[in-house]
Structures are given as structure tokens and as C-alpha cells.
């Protein structure tokens, strides 16, 4: 099979097309013909060697956190799947990843793909939707009537968080660049705050929850727009200094751990039309290096960049 691999940490040019033996599914594994995978910020950070303290990864490494495709074979102990099923799956950063034409994954990491969504849409929804769910539902416990600020609403996770919080009945404000105002409004966001025009502190206050997908200075400034007893939920983004000591603000990390139950909940919401997949761009598998360059330069916006894994020009 064709795959993309880096053999040492470094720049996007380290991502090289390789021919690898087709994987054999173990007794509890499903062999999937992969059609689409999402490219997430963690992929380039890992390739650059920035995440080794958190994920003990050593090259050679095939990147990729998720994928969507068709079941081609199964191990003897697998139940609940059949050859030909359309499925979505996740991979851990520490596993061999999904930038490949075939993947053998434990059945526990595989869920049925919803009817009505293509593989590209499935890939766009998975990691971003799971991260948004863990931030909004598991960590913040957002409920109807809450006032929620999403910092980074035009990003892949931010777009899912806006839709999810609206679905939960919250009043949602979101920060994005002015050029993305219409995009974020179309997700149902009640108040759009263009961070390149105004300081968000002048536009919003007394929030129950802020979901911080940006970090750095944005993280620190977010304390000021929360009500007493409010909650600031963060994902690992730009480094920030924790200045919450002595403030009546609860600061919690959204710990992103793959969970098939959450993946299924996200996929079901998409299937019901409650979460719209957001695809920023689609590239063939052998342009993975270009995809990483785009993300690393901060040029990706309005959803997930997706690689089509069966398209391989080289
Ligand atoms: N384990 C973890 O903790 C974990 C897991 C997943 C992701 N993450 C992190 O979460 C972050 C978001 O991920 P993602 O996949 O959604 O990234 P993404 O799709 O690349 O989105 C980044 C977005 O950030 C927005 N942005 C940049 N500066 C901003 C500012 N000052 N105020 C408001 N928005 C701003 C940009 O909006 P415009 O386009 O409008 O400029 C862009 O759309 C990344 O840093 C990623 O590494 C952490």
C-alpha cells in the first residue's frame, strides 16, 4: 500500500511517500481501505518533534489521527462489522497513523459511518467533533441558557464547538477574523467578534463558559469576560501563563482522549444534521507535505483539511 511517513523529526519535507506491506488485521482488528483522513494541528507538531514529552513517538512514523473508509477484512474475534461496511476510525498519535491506503484498527476504535455523509465529510467531523464534545460537554457541561464564548470559532474545532453549544441551547459568542464573519454566522453563532478589529473584552462579558482554542494572550484575557464562578476550558494551543490564582474562575483542561462513545455521539449528531461537517480543502495523499505547510503557516481556516488517501499522483 501507499502511505506517507516521516523517518526523522523535521520540516514538512520529511513527509515522504512510501510503499509499505499491507497490514494484516489481528484477532480483534478491522482492516479498513482508507478513503479520507483529516490533517490536524497535532500532526505537524508531532512531525516537528514538539510533542515528544506528551507522546513518546519515534520515527519512522505514519501520521494521522483518524480516517473513514470501507471494511475489507476482520480478525476472528471481531463482531458487529461486515466486509463492505462504511466506517469511521481513530488512531492514537503513538500508533502508526492513518495517512495510508489501508489501516488495521482495533474494532473498539471503529464506528459505522453515517448514511448520507461521504468519506471526506466523515473525516472532517471526527477529530474536530470529538475535541469540541470533550471541551463543551465533558469538561464544561454546557447546558441550555449558558452564555458561551468560543475563542477561535473559525477553526475546525471552533466550528464544531459553536454548532454543538447551539445544539445544547447555549447563547454563543465567537471570535474569528473579520473575513470569516459570514462563515461563523452561518454556523448559528449569536454574536461574532472579529479579533482583528476589536478587543473581545469590549464586546462580551459575564460569560458562563469560555472555550479557549487559541491560548497565549487570548487565554489570559479570557478570565476578564467570565462571570464570577465561570469556567475557562482550554486545549493545548499557544503557551500561556496561568494567572487564575485568587480569581473566582475555574480553569480546566479539556483532556483529549479518544473515546468510541463520544465518536459515535458526534457521528450521530452529524447524521441527524445537527453538526455540519466543515471541510476547508481536499488534497490527494501524496500532497501531505503541502497540507502540513498550510496548517503550520496558520493558513488553514473554516474547517478541516482532508487528504483523499486513494488519490496518489506520484
Ligand atoms: N490535545 C489537545 O489539547 C488538542 C487537541 C486538538 C487540538 N488542539 C489545539 O487546538 C487548537 C485549535 O485546533 P483546530 O484544529 O481548530 O485549529 P485550526 O482549524 O487550525 O484553527 C485555528 C483557528 O484559530 C483562529 N485564530 C487564530 N488566532 C486567533 C485569535 N487571536 N482569536 C480568535 N481566533 C484565532 C483562526 O481564525 P481565523 O482563520 O479567523 O484567523 C483559525 O481559524 C490548535 O492549537 C490545536 O493544536 C489541542
149 and 240 part of one domain: yes
pLDDT confidence tier of residue 243, bands split at 50, 70 and 90: confident
pLDDT score for 4: 98
Count of domains observed in the chain: 2
31 and 174 part of one domain: no
pLDDT at residue 314 is higher than 70: no
152 within ligand 1 shell (Cβ under 6 A)? yes
68 and 152 part of one domain: no
- Type and span of the H or E element at 186: helix 181-186
34 and 102 part of one domain: yes
246 and 269 part of one domain: no
19 and 62 part of one domain: yes
Name every residue whose Cβ is closer than 8 Å to that of residue 208 and which is 6 or more positions away in sequence.
Answer: 146, 147, 148, 226, 227, 230, 231
pLDDT score for 158: 98
Q: 47 in a domain, yes or no?
A: yes
> Which atom of ligand 1 lies closest to the CA of 280?
19
Between 236 and 304, the more confident residue is 304
11 and 117 part of one domain: yes
If you measure from the C-alpha of residue 214 to the centroid of ligand 1, how many angstroms do you get, rounded to a whole number? 5
pLDDT at residue 256 is higher than 90: yes
Q: 291 in a domain, yes or no?
A: yes
71: exposed, middle or buried (C-beta count within 10 Å: 0-12, 13-18, 19+)? buried
> Which atom of ligand 1 lies closest to the CA of 304?
19
145 and 119 part of one domain: no
Q: What is the mean pLDDT of residues 242-270?
A: 91
Alpha-carbon dihedral sign for residues 56, 61, 67, 68: negative
42 within ligand 1 shell (Cβ under 6 A)? yes
Between 237 and 152, the more confident residue is 152
Q: 131 in a domain, yes or no?
A: no
C-alpha–C-alpha distance, residues 269 and 230, integer Å: 27
C-alpha–C-alpha distance, residues 210 and 174, integer Å: 10
What tens digit of pLDDT does each residue of 169-203 get?
Answer: 999 999 999 999 999 999 999 999 999 999 999 99
Q: 235 in a domain, yes or no?
A: yes
Q: Which of 115, 114, 83, 98 is nearest to 43 (CA)?
A: 98
Q: 242 in a domain, yes or no?
A: yes
What tens digit of pLDDT does each residue of 262-283 get?
Answer: 999 999 999 999 999 999 999 9
C-alpha–C-alpha distance, residues 137 and 252, integer Å: 13
Q: 177 in a domain, yes or no?
A: yes
67 and 146 part of one domain: no
pLDDT at residue 92 is higher than 80: yes
Q: 132 in a domain, yes or no?
A: no
Q: How many CA atoms lie within 13 A of 286 on its CB side?
A: 10
Distances (CA, A) of 6 to 17, 46, 114, 178, 306: 9, 10, 32, 36, 19
Domain boundary among 253, 273, 294: 253
If you measure from the C-alpha of residue 156 to the centroid of ligand 1, how many angstroms do you get, rounded to a whole number? 7
31 within ligand 1 shell (Cβ under 6 A)? no
Q: Which of 168, 156, 106, 170 is nearest to 280 (CA)?
A: 156
Supply the CATH number for residue 235's domain.
3.40.50.720
Q: Which of 228, 220, 231 is nearest to 248 (CA)?
A: 228
Strand stretches in 75-163, DSSP E: 86-90, 102-106, 110-112, 147-151
Supply the CATH number for residue 26's domain.
3.90.180.10
C-alpha–C-alpha distance, residues 156 and 303, integer Å: 4
Q: What is the mean pLDDT of the chain?
A: 96
- Best mutation site among 37, 133, 152, 210 for ligand 1, i.e. most ligand atoms within 8 A of its Cβ? 152
pLDDT at residue 291 is higher than 70: yes
Q: 40 in a domain, yes or no?
A: yes
175 within ligand 1 shell (Cβ under 6 A)? yes
275 and 244 part of one domain: no
157 and 212 part of one domain: yes
53 and 108 part of one domain: yes
pLDDT at residue 147 is higher than 80: yes
256 within ligand 1 shell (Cβ under 6 A)? yes
- pTM confidence score: 0.96
What are the grid coordinates assigned to 283, written together? 488534497
Residue range of the domain that includes 41: 2-125+257-308
Protein residue with least CA distance to atom 44, ligand 1: 237
239: exposed, middle or buried (C-beta count within 10 Å: 0-12, 13-18, 19+)? exposed
Amino acid at each position: 500500500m501507499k502511505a506517507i511517513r516521516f523517518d526523522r523529526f523535521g520540516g514538512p519535507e520529511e513527509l515522504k511517500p512510501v510503499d509499505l506491506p499491507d497490514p494484516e488485521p489481528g484477532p480483534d482488528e478491522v482492516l479498513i481501505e482508507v478513503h479520507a483522513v483529516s490533517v490536524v494541528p497535532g500532526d505537524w507538531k508531532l512531525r516537528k518533534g514538539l510533542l515528544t514529552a506528551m507522546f513518546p513517538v519515534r520515527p519512522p512514523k505514519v501520521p494521522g489521527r483518524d480516517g473513514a473508509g470501507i471494511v475489507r477484512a476482520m480478525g476472528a474475534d471481531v463482531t458487529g462489522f461486515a466486509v463492505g461496511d462504511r466506517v469511521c476510525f481513530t488512531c492514537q498519535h503513538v500508533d502508526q497513523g492513518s495517512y495510508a491506503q489501508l489501516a488495521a484498527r482495533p474494532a473498539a476504535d471503529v464506528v459505522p459511518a453515517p448514511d448520507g455523509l461521504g468519506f471526506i465529510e466523515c473525516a472532517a467531523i471526527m477529530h474536530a467533533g470529538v475535541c469540541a464534545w470533550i471541551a463543551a460537554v465533558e469538561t464544561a457541561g454546557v447546558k441550555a441558557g449558558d452564555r458561551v464564548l468560543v475563542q477561535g470559532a473559525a477553526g475546525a474545532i471552533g466550528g464544531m464547538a459553536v454548532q454543538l453549544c447551539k445544539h445544547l441551547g447555549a447563547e454563543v459568542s465567537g471570535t474569528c477574523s473579520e473575513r470569516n464573519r459570514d462563515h461563523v454566522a452561518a454556523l448559528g453563532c449569536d454574536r461574532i467578534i472579529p479579533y482583528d478589529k476589536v478587543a473581545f473584552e469590549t464586546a462580551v462579558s459575564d460569560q458562563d463558559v469560555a472555550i479557549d482554542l487559541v491560548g497565549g494572550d487570548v487565554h489570559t484575557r479570557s478570565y476578564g469576560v467570565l462571570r464570577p464562578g465561570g469556567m475557562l476550558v482550554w486545549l493545548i494551543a499557544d503557551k500561556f501563563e496561568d494567572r487564575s490564582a485568587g480569581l473566582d474562575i475555574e480553569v480546566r483542561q479539556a483532556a483529549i482522549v479518544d473515546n468510541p462513545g463520544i465518536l459515535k455521539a458526534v457521528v450521530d449528531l452529524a447524521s441527524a444534521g445537527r453538526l455540519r461537517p466543515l471541510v476547508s480543502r481536499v488534497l490527494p495523499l501524496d500532497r501531505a507535505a503541502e497540507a502540513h505547510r498550510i496548517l503550520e503557516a496558520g493558513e488553514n481556516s473554516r474547517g478541516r483539511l482532508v487528504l483523499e488517501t486513494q488519490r496518489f499522483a506520484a
